[in-house]
Chain A
């Protein structure tokens, strides 16, 4: 009697700890291998360049720089998307959902078209970053109106979408009145690329990303509780309003940093968190580091493909992420979606 009951109760049990651990092991093994692989790919040829030549070592340094950029930017986008999906309890949320991309794009467009980006190299990223953060504050402020200081996720998403649309319209207006050269620069920035930024900015941005991911990791049990909704989280002794604000700030910081480093790279922030959640479950204590690693590695590989496939022509990495990653992730999600979302 008792045994039949246990069998019946366990009929949906899919987890076997060994399999889970094996998956984790394989993933952790794949990360350094794929990063190393990216060092072998480039427009100058496949393989390790001749390190004795100055050209060879500088090629290697260039590839290494891009690998670091890819890791940092990809990790930032993926972790940021994961937080937005958890806080907004919505699988369609992504790093750009609350107007971060619109704001950053508008700031960058103004900066590029005003020509100041040519005069001061730090200016474009700083402008993009600042305008992204300002946009988030505007969106949050609008959504809080009439909600007594704690906006609902629906009003956040809606006001984010509206503010984004306004920003895109203004970008289009600016672009339509721009010179051909300005137009070219704006479009290229928007497609995104991982050309290493100045060393000073690289260090600063990487520090910000590391800080953001650590901050999110500290919140991970709170994110778990918040997926049950604000009310239940409150009952469990969590300061729900504060966690949401802090979480949104970290996620925006990450997204804005990524945008200011590499322009707008889509897809990573939306899909990678879903795939990692489907593979390793939604528990954020595991998901935060895994999604960051996954996003970084994915972007590194995409960038390696982007500069190799049509060499010497370089495809924008934002194109490769969706074209190469789309079908791959679609298969995974189709098979494992129920392990991520209901």
Chain B
């Protein structure tokens, strides 16, 4: 599958493009080039900027800085009709509030080439018919578009874009709604037009395994930056994916086909449920909410404290039914609460400290960590506690250094922490 059919003339190139919506930049300095005839998949977690990238490529959004070019011409200066003859986009979903029939809708693909004064001629009818045969929607020609099923609508949308005869087709998660036989069919169509007509294809997809099978190349987006760009073997590395998707992922090579398969880790998750592993979390100011959630999903028992009442972490702990020690709102942690928390942390297997800002009021929470260390329990400190230190004389920073010297481990992402936890439970 991985053969470079592509010539070297660029179809789409981004040069240091930053782009986004009013007041919110989504893409930050993205650069890449897709050569004509390539089949590329754009992957990445939800909200990483895949759709924004497509919209920028199709000149729906103007880049804040940097430049986009389509077949060597600057995208934003292309005339609308010229642009449509170069790039076609199949969106996630098409809404047609008026009762257009499938045939009328597919004819929309010819609009820009017909022009303002022309009428569709026999050649246009032929192109439309061919596109409809290709996507197996000819039999639906006289049906109302909106009464079709989601998969049929997607095929009609593809027919409409094929009728546009663009040189690069971009699909925004358009195959997600298709059932398996039509998904195979649509993908086969895409592969065919890619191979026979040298139409460049850019597929936005959530299905990593499928993307790997189809594509010459994968572009992996993470938080608006390009995290990886290369062949599926180069991009689909478990440690890279696990970091970017922030969860444990495995990449296997299928023994028969040699294809890469990406999968999560639900099986071990089901086994882990029975385990009785308790973790005490020192958090505050909202730094613990996501951590609580992830620890609970992974099957750990979670306790937390000392928190101040009304703190957002205290609210989250209450909502998630966590055992928590709560001090009065906006007051320093008193000795009674500390003793209670100390007992609670003593009952846990490990202690985790988030990157909560420390001040004189909650500094004492760090002592929970040193108690745990001296009791021989693993302690995990979030990176950057020293930089959020509001105590006098950098007391929290110094305390963290002591803890690290005594064997505490630092973590920077929740996924990394979960790996640490897993390892140290296994080693016990």
Contacts and interface: CB of A to CB of B under 8 A. Distances in A.
Interface stretch (B31-39, B87-95, B213-221, B399-407): B87-95
A206 to B, nearest CB: 24
Interface in A1-26: 5-6, 9-10, 12-15
B112 A236 contact: yes
A341 B139 contact: no
Contacts of B87: 235
B112 A237 contact: yes
8 contacts: A10-B139, A224-B104, A227-B96, A228-B95, A235-B84, A236-B108, A338-B99, A342-B146
A281 B143 CA distance: 12
Interface in B170-203: none
A277 B104 CA distance: 14
Contact of A148 (B22, B91, B140, B164): B22
Given A218-B116, A237-B80, A341-B97, 6 more contacts: A10-B142, A14-B142, A234-B58, A236-B111, A237-B112, A342-B96
A235 B80 CA distance: 8
A228 B83 contact: no
A9 B156 CA distance: 14
A237 B83 contact: yes
Contacts of B343: none
B83 A89 contact: no
Interface in A181-218: 218
Contacts of A235: 58, 60, 84, 87-89, 91, 161
Interface residues of A, number: 38
Interface of A: 5-6, 9-10, 12-15, 86, 89-91, 148, 218, 221-222, 224-225, 227-229, 231-232, 234-239, 277, 281-283, 338-342
Contacts of A277: 98-99
Nearest to A91: B97
B114 interface: yes
A68 to B, nearest CB: 29
Contacts of A236: 84, 108-109, 111-112, 160, 164
A222 B112 CA distance: 9
A277 B117 CA distance: 23
Nearest to B136: A9
Nearest to A5: B139
B94 A228 contact: yes
A14 B55 CA distance: 37
Contacts of B100: 224, 227, 281-283
Closest 4 pairs between A and B when the two form their complex, measured CB to CB? A237-B84, A237-B112, A282-B98, A9-B139
Nearest to B89: A235
Given A218-B117, A234-B60, A224 B111 contact: yes
Select the residue from A5, A218, A228, A281 with max chain B CB neighbours within 10 A.
A228
Interface string B145-178: 0110000000000001100100000000000000
